[in-house]
Amino acid sequence: MNRREFLGRVALAAASLSGCASLGTRTTPDSPPAQARAPRKVVILGAGLAGLVAAHELTQAGHDVTILEARARPGGRVHTLREPFSDGLHAEAGALFIPSNHQLTLQYANFFSLPIRPNPPLSAPGLFYVRGQRVVANWGPNVEWPFDLTADETKLGVGGMWEKYIGAELEGLGDVTAPGWPSDPGLETLDRMSVAEFLRSRGASQGAVALLRVGFLDLVGDGIDSYSALLMLRRFALRRTESLRFSITGGADRLPRAFATTLAARIRYQSPVVRIEPGETSASVVIGRDGQHQRLTADHIVCTIPFSVLKSIDVSPSFSPQKARAVDQLPYTSSTRVYLQFRRKAWTSERPYVTATTDLPMKWVFEHTASQPGPRGILEAQATGVDGRRVAQMGESDRVQFALSQLQRIFPGLSGDFERGVSKSWDEDPWARGAFAYFRPGQMLSLLPHIVRPEGRVHFAGEHASPWSAWMEGALESGLRAAREVNETPPAAR
């Protein structure tokens, strides 16, 4: 994509956003719950985006809402780091990008008047560090990759290979956002395959599999041997209409904070839920704080706690066996991100911004400060899967030194400008226990139907309970869906 096309896409995306604003400047996005016929008492577990949007819409609909949040802040996995950086710089520990087809995220950012800015498109020429070599390349044809590709694959380039091996399969998936998807039993074969098996079965050479996994397919779970090909295909299907990626200027946490400001009186921070008591006409939760326990009973509970945390919470009477299995078995991707501050952005002499994709343990390098003022810059190096867990086992200063040594291989001479670093392991976070949910081969068909289904008066939301899993869009979509479920459930007979 050249600069003209890039600016054209920015203009188009801006026009579609201002179009939504013109419906009435501060509209709420599509399909909020209708005004409550009978106001209910609703307790929401978690003040991440799923819990916040559910609380926002249920409050608007006239319900009596309380949010219980274990942390001292809102936002959960949307978390902007401002310490220990200089000059007011910041970096994202969690969510960063908003793809242009994530309508709910863009519309809520617009609703709260948060400025957004476009990021360089993913298809722009990027820096790869693979097999010990630096390659500056785009996804186009005839790139000299240090991989053993067939003549046809070299001619196709990365983009062409995506189309050939993956794009061709998407038509047969149906609407991946439809409730109850995947209902077609024919998709079971794809679910049982790992991504690596799928690529090989579609004729990809060993070299092509090795190239396609770098920095992208390997960022989920423990890499391409570990997760369902059907999950990978769903992720691609949802990217079909994406043209650009945006970020919220000033930090992604401005979105959850905006929700939390409007809901301030309803959020109870530092209130970890230790027990859930589902019921058919009401449900209760117990908060454990400073050795004290407090029970709250409500007409409905909306649980947005990640299953990785929920599986250690006492549930009595227990969930159905299918739900309990889904909670217990749903795996989460390990991610350890290390942020390094440099006194100057030496890399700008070569490239205006940095995104590097590598086959090193730190698989992805990204500059968080490309549009932040001042001479200093922050580069992030991210390790996921097995490497993410290995880096997480190191002490804080070893993590920083390790990330610096990896960056030094990609950008020789960089370490002379290094000032300080900090890291975030999502596995270690007691209220996340992982970065985002994924499915091992065979799990999509067996677990997916049971993730969303309510258990009596307990409803479920969160990125894990949405087709847009691993995105803010998934949190918002599932939170709205759970809010509608609450609103549409007939009141219990008293």
Ligand X SMILES: Cc1cc2nc3c(=O)[nH]c(=O)nc-3n(C[C@H](O)[C@H](O)[C@H](O)COP(=O)(O)OP(=O)(O)OC[C@H]3O[C@@H](n4cnc5c(N)ncnc54)[C@H](O)[C@@H]3O)c2cc1C
Instruction: Report the alpha-carbon angle 414-416-420, nearest 5.
Output: 90
Compare residues 281 and 297 and give the one whose CB is closer to ligand X.
297
Smallest distance, Å, CB 360 to ligand X?
18
Cβ partners under 8 Å of residue 7, min gap 6: none
Q: Could you tell me if 181 and 175 are in contact, meaning their C-beta atoms sit under 8 angstroms apart?
A: yes
Smallest distance, Å, CB 231 to ligand X?
15
68 binds ligand X (CB under 6 A): yes
Cα 440 from Cα 460, distance rounded (Å): 21
Cα 336 from Cα 226, distance rounded (Å): 18
| DSSP classification of residue 24 | -
Smallest distance, Å, CB 444 to ligand X?
18
Compare residues 165 and 307 and give the one whose CB is closer to ligand X.
307
Compare residues 103 and 205 and give the one whose CB is closer to ligand X.
103
User: What crossing angle do the helices spanning 443-452 and 321-329 adopt, rounded to 10°?
Assistant: 120
Q: Could you tell me if 53 and 31 are in contact, meaning their C-beta atoms sit under 8 angstroms apart?
A: no
**Sign (positive or negative) of CA dihedral 361, 364, 368, 374:** positive
Residue tagged 């604003």 (tokens): 21
- For residue 239, what are the CA distances in angstroms to 166, 178, 280? 12, 16, 39
The first and second tokens of residue 408, run together, are 């030094």
Among 56, 63, 71, 457, binds ligand X (CB under 6 A): 71
Compare residues 406 and 466 and give the one whose CB is closer to ligand X.
466
Smallest distance, Å, CB 3 to ligand X?
24
Among 33, 272, 441, 454, binds ligand X (CB under 6 A): 272
- For residue 464, what are the CA distances in angstroms to 192, 427, 454? 20, 16, 14
Among 17, 42, 43, 45, binds ligand X (CB under 6 A): 45
Among 32, 33, 48, 157, binds ligand X (CB under 6 A): 48
Cα 277 from Cα 113, distance rounded (Å): 39
Q: Could you tell me if 93 and 81 are in contact, meaning their C-beta atoms sit under 8 angstroms apart?
A: yes
One-letter amino acid identity for 84?
Answer: P
Compare residues 425 and 487 and give the one whose CB is closer to ligand X.
425
Stretch that binds ligand X, among 199-207, 212-220, 303-311, 348-356 (CB under 6 A): 303-311
315 binds ligand X (CB under 6 A): no
Residue tagged 């186009």 (tokens): 140
Strands (E) across 201-272 are located at 245-248, 267-268
The first and second tokens of residue 132, run together, are 């010990």
359 binds ligand X (CB under 6 A): no
89 binds ligand X (CB under 6 A): no
Stretch that binds ligand X, among 6-14, 39-47, 178-186, 397-405 (CB under 6 A): 39-47
Among 404, 421, 474, 487, binds ligand X (CB under 6 A): 474
- For residue 465, what are the CA distances in angstroms to 262, 304, 461? 25, 9, 5
The first and second tokens of residue 390, run together, are 């290995």
Dihedral-angle region of residue 250 (phi above 0 means left; psi in -120 to 50 means alpha; beta otherwise): left
| DSSP classification of residue 490 | P
Residues in 93-132 that interact with ligand X by CB under 6 A? 94-98
Among 126, 306, 385, 467, binds ligand X (CB under 6 A): 306
381 binds ligand X (CB under 6 A): no
470 binds ligand X (CB under 6 A): yes
259 binds ligand X (CB under 6 A): no
Residues in 327-356 that interact with ligand X by CB under 6 A? 335
46 binds ligand X (CB under 6 A): yes
Number of residues engaging ligand X in binding (CB under 6 A) = 40
Cα 113 from Cα 355, distance rounded (Å): 28
377 binds ligand X (CB under 6 A): no
Among 100, 304, 336, 443, binds ligand X (CB under 6 A): 304
Stretch that binds ligand X, among 207-215, 275-283, 441-449, 470-478 (CB under 6 A): 470-478
Dihedral of the alpha carbons of 346, 349, 351, 352, in degrees to the nearest 10: 80
Compare residues 194 and 382 and give the one whose CB is closer to ligand X.
382
Among 54, 78, 195, 391, binds ligand X (CB under 6 A): 78
Compare residues 335 and 372 and give the one whose CB is closer to ligand X.
335
91 binds ligand X (CB under 6 A): no
Could you count the other beta carbons within 10 Å of the beta carbon of residue 468? 23
Q: Which of 120, 112, 92 is nearest to 251 (CA)?
A: 92
Among 17, 42, 43, 49, binds ligand X (CB under 6 A): 49
Stretch that binds ligand X, among 47-55, 186-194, 203-211, 258-266 (CB under 6 A): 47-55
Compare residues 194 and 336 and give the one whose CB is closer to ligand X.
336
Stretch that binds ligand X, among 3-11, 190-198, 349-357, 472-480 (CB under 6 A): 472-480
Could you count the other beta carbons within 10 Å of the beta carbon of residue 466? 24
The binding site for ligand X (CB under 6 A) comprises 45-51, 68-71, 76-78, 94-98, 272-273, 304-306, 309, 313, 335, 426, 431-432, 435-436, 462-463, 470-475
